[in-house]
Amino acid sequence: MKLEEKDFEFLQPMINKGINEYFENKENKEFEKKTFNISETEKIINCSYNFVKKLIQDGYLKTTADGKFITGLEINKYLGITDNKKTVSNGNVETA
């Protein structure tokens, strides 16, 4: 079966979407594995240092065992990003 140019025009948007979703998911998974201190976390979720401390104290953000770091996964959970349709990039929540 030989593909014609019109076939590529039809398939190209689907191929591009699949490629974009793959890289967005990969980027989000890499973010979720990283750890951030409180100062970094405040910049990511755009709030004050004291507010991040309160989120931790109230159990909205879980830290590492030593209490010094928050994982990207925990930040995503707090922001309601669990479906991999959204990512955090440079402190901004982006929808795919």
Q: Which residue has the tokens 């909205």?
A: 60
In 3-state terms the chain splits into helix, strand, coil percentages (rounded to 5) of: 55, 10, 30
d(CA 92, CA 59) in angstroms, rounded, equals: 23
* Of the candidates 59, 57, 90, 94, the residue with the CA atom closest to the CA atom of residue 74: 59
Which domains are assigned to the chain? Answer: 5-90 (1.10.1660)
Tokens of 77: 């959970």
Taking residues 12-35, what's their average pLDDT?
77
Condensed to tens digits (0 to 9), the pLDDT of residues 47-95 reads 899 999 999 999 999 999 999 999 999 998 888 865 444 555 555 555 5
